């Protein structure tokens, strides 16, 4: 394989040498095909390490049902509600308690819609291709969030038991 020029810059000859060396190894092309057609994390998984991993834990959690956001983009909300859920169970001295994700999601969507409405009113005099307008309209009611958004929603609108707002 050729080496780089004395200046350290990659030149056409060096790059051609790299390409030639790569193509000379059938295994390289096989790997290239695999990682361009499949998730690289799945392909790179070392099954020996997975098989050796211990699945026994030293900390046992209370036995209470799980909540599943099912890839809905609401993990931030479920995490926050589950944090409150544990303490609420203890305060109420009940084995099972769950907050309504639908209730919090309703208020999240209402607050987001109001924000967008107010922003559109504020930017109504701008052209449609204005960067701020384009940003506002790109994905006005996304699902993602974070802790501060969750706290703001709960401070303003509270929470509700799951069995009241399923």
* Residues designated as active site: 75
**CA gyration radius, the chain:** 27
- Per-residue tokens: 35: 């990682």
Residue linked to tokens 């991993």: 53
Angle of the 147-157 helix axis to the 75-92 helix axis, nearest 10: 50
Of 70, 78, 119, 126, nearest to 101 (Cα)?
Answer: 78
- How far from 106 is each of 5, 6, 7, CA to CA, in Å? 62, 64, 61
- Please, what's the b/e burial string for 54-93 (b: 16 or more CB within 10 A of its CB; e: otherwise)? eeeeeeeeeeeeebeeeeeebebbbebbeeebeebbeeee
CA atoms in the 13 A half-sphere facing the CB of 100: 17
């Amino acid at each position: 394989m050729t080496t780089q020029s004395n200046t350290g810059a990659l030149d056409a000859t060096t790059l051609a040498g790299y390409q030639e060396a790569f193509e000379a190894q059938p295994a390289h092309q096989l790997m290239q095909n695999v990682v361009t057609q499949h998730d690289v994390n799945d392909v790179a998984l070392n099954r020996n390490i997975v098989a050796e991993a211990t699945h026994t834990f030293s900390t046992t959690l209370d036995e209470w049902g799980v909540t599943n956001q099912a890839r809905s983009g609401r993990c931030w909300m479920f995490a926050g509600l589950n944090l409150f859920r544990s303490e609420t169970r203890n305060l109420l001295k009940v084995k099972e308690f769950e907050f309504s994700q639908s209730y919090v999601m309703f208020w999240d969507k209402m607050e987001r819609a109001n924000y967008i409405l107010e922003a559109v009113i504020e930017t109504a005099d701008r052209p449609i291709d204005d960067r701020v307008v384009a940003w506002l309209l790109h994905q006005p009611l996304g699902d993602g969030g974070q802790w501060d958004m969750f706290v703001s929603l709960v401070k303003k609108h509270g929470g509700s038991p799951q069995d009241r707002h399923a």
